[in-house]
Amino acid sequence: MRSKERIEKRIEFWREMFSFSSKLFVLISSALVVDINTKQELSFIDVVGVCVDFFFLMGMIISLLKWNEYIEDL
């Protein structure tokens, strides 16, 4: 039972992390779209923010896939 509780806690952790990161990605991307639509010059911070969040999301997805393989082996 102890491992099942630990797995449930990890699932909840990853769910919260993915939710937070996806909301952050949408927020940063929408700011980028607003800059483009208002024909303002994109700042370096906008581009870096989108890149960092995109790579963070990809890293989380890869980690989740590897973790899913680990769970299936249990």
51: its two tokens: 């890149």
7: its two tokens: 């797995």
Compute the distance between CA of residue 35 and CA of residue 47 in angstroms, rounded to an integer: 11
What is the pTM (predicted TM-score) of this model? 0.53
Residue 58: Cβ-neighbour burial (10 angstroms; 0-12, 13-18, 19+): exposed
Domain extent listing, the chain: 2-73
Place of tokens 């990853």: 14
| pLDDT tens, residue order, the chain (74 aa) | 577 887 788 788 778 877 877 787 788 778 777 777 777 777 787 778 778 877 877 887 887 777 776 666 65
In this structure, which amino acid lies at residue 57? L
